[in-house]
Amino acid sequence: MKNYTFTSESVSEGHPDKICDRISDTLLDAFLQRDPEARTAIETVATTNRVILVGEVSSEFSPLPDEIEDLIRMTVKEIGYEQDGFHWKNLKIENYLHAQSPDIAMGVKASATKDEGAGDQGIMFGYACSDTKALMPAPLYYAHKILRHLSEGRARGDFPTLGPDSKSQISIKYENDKPMGCTAIVLSTQHDASLTQDDVRAIVTPVIESVLPKGWMCPLDKLYVNPTGRFVIGGPDGDAGLTGRKIIVDTYGGASAHGGGAFSGKDPSKVDRSAAYMARYIAKNIVAAGLAEKCVLQLSYAIGRADPTSLYLNTFETGKVDEEKLLRILPELVNLTPRGIRTHLNLNRPIYARTAAYGHFGRTPDEDGGFSWETCDLVNELTSYFGHSVKYA
């Protein structure tokens, strides 16, 4: 269909699952800071005044239990939790991390006879489209942006009566496959008991209007703010959290396929994370180069093997060049082995805690190498090869 309505959601850094993602990635960064070759698969569980760590680690660096506890408390404090049922000072922390399985490790490690292999089988997707300047789907892009503005305002002290736990959901009408405006918006945010539903609506409506393009605001009777009427108890005290449960929020909001693997807590040797970043990098550069209006790329791997088992590309009949030719040249432009991906995107660095909320994609690359997969440095090679001019980069 060319004319349709599509909906995506986002959740804030104070959502229970996102707290867990942030803790897992904060600990990953701590390992990579001291051991760039560290291997981690850290899962976090959070509930009322309790955080539980499970998973596997292989590293030359072994932090003391007190260091891990301090990092967890610091993370929860930065997010803003000082409520009776979830307070950074009062958390009970249980640590069940253990060594990585040697059966997995032998498949990943390089040797004299083989390159570093993938840590598991799996499929990974990357996607880009011309909806927004970030080359992300509009519903997810604006769902993230609204919550980020609320979070930044809360951090500045602009919204002292709002809490850290919030969710957004945006429905956008498309005409001829182009986003035209919002048909409905849902926003739920934790708040002080003193606020009414109308009070919360008065706080968040100007923020929503400031974020959306002019003329995109939905009818006010389709703006649903705290639809149950009350959202005082939030975070893990209201709903348990777990690492890796918001994979659609993390990627493309349902506008593209997802391989199924979560990202947070996993070091970049794991293709669940690194190959998904590479697939986005390639898809974004293809769209940025003006070779297509939208593009999805799939990579697949076998445990212990370096080269991908398949490579798939689809430009949804928006491509300006031959897809088969484009697919053939991609392995010439980038090394798609796990080691090649980590090297090309320079992923063995402590850059992951910042990815844990508001999406892993569509972000601005940081000077220290964060979000390196969002750079458009393949555009010149692509445009040179096909003779096209740059459209979006």
Catalytic option among 29, 37, 50, 56: 56
As a whole number of angstroms, the distance between CA 15 and CA 240 comes to 10
Look up 144 and say whether it is catalytic: no
Catalytic option among 145, 266, 273, 354: 266
pLDDT tens for the chain, residues 1 to 393: 899 999 999 999 999 999 999 999 999 999 999 999 999 999 999 999 999 999 999 999 888 889 999 999 999 999 999 999 999 999 999 999 998 777 666 566 665 555 688 878 999 999 999 999 999 999 999 999 999 999 999 999 999 999 999 999 999 999 999 999 999 999 999 999 999 999 999 999 999 999 999 999 999 999 999 999 999 999 999 999 999 999 999 999 999 999 989 999 999 999 999 999 999 999 999 999 999 999 999 999 999 899 999 999 999 999 999 999 999 999 999 999 999 999 999 999 999 999 999 999 999 999 999 999 999 999 999 998 887 655 655
Look up 245 and say whether it is catalytic: yes
Regarding the domain delimited by 4-11+138-235, which CATH topology (the fold level of the hierarchy) does it fall under?
Answer: GMP Synthetase; Chain A, domain 3 (3.30.300)
Look up 222 and say whether it is catalytic: no
Look up 9 and say whether it is catalytic: no
* Domain boundaries along the sequence of the chain: 4-11+138-235, 16-106, 122-130+246-386
Helix residue spans in 98-196 (DSSP H): 102-108, 138-156
Residue with tokens 């459209």: 391
Q: Is 339 annotated as a binding residue?
A: no
Q: Is 2 annotated as a binding residue?
A: no
What pLDDT is recorded for position 110? Answer: 62
β-strand pairing of 92-99 with 310-314: unpaired
Q: Is 209 annotated as a binding residue?
A: no
What pLDDT is recorded for position 301? Answer: 96
For the chain, state the CA radius of gyration: 21
Catalytic option among 184, 240, 257, 302: 240
Look up 270 and say whether it is catalytic: yes
What pLDDT is recorded for position 117? Answer: 80
Q: Is 214 annotated as a binding residue?
A: no
Catalytic option among 18, 148, 273, 354: 18
Look up 15 and say whether it is catalytic: yes
As a whole number of angstroms, the distance between CA 144 and CA 249 comes to 9
- 379 Cα distance to chain centroid: 23
Regarding the domain delimited by 122-130+246-386, which CATH topology (the fold level of the hierarchy) does it fall under?
Answer: GMP Synthetase; Chain A, domain 3 (3.30.300)
As a whole number of angstroms, the distance between CA 166 and CA 18 comes to 11
Look up 89 and say whether it is catalytic: no
Look up 43 and say whether it is catalytic: yes
Q: Which of 245, 235, 239 is nearest to 265 (CA)?
A: 245
Catalytic option among 13, 21, 35, 43: 43
- What are the tens digits of pLDDT across the range 286-298? 999 999 999 999 9
Look up 284 and say whether it is catalytic: no
Q: Is 342 annotated as a binding residue?
A: no
Look up 272 and say whether it is catalytic: yes
Domain range 16-106, CATH class: alpha beta
Q: Is 391 annotated as a binding residue?
A: no
Q: Is 167 annotated as a binding residue?
A: yes
Catalytic option among 145, 148, 154, 245: 245
Say whether 16-106 and 4-11+138-235 share the same fold.
yes
What pLDDT is recorded for position 116? Answer: 81
What are the beta bridge partners of residue 53? 44, 95
Q: Is 293 annotated as a binding residue?
A: no
Q: Is 230 annotated as a binding residue?
A: yes
Query: Virtual CA dihedral for 160, 162, 167, 171, nearest 10 degrees?
Result: -80
Laid out side by side, the sheet with 310-314 consists of: 122-129, 294-301, 310-314
Look up 246 and say whether it is catalytic: yes
Q: Is 15 annotated as a binding residue?
A: yes
What pLDDT is recorded for position 106? Answer: 59
What pLDDT is recorded for position 390? Answer: 55
CA angle 311, 247, 28 (to 5 degrees): 95
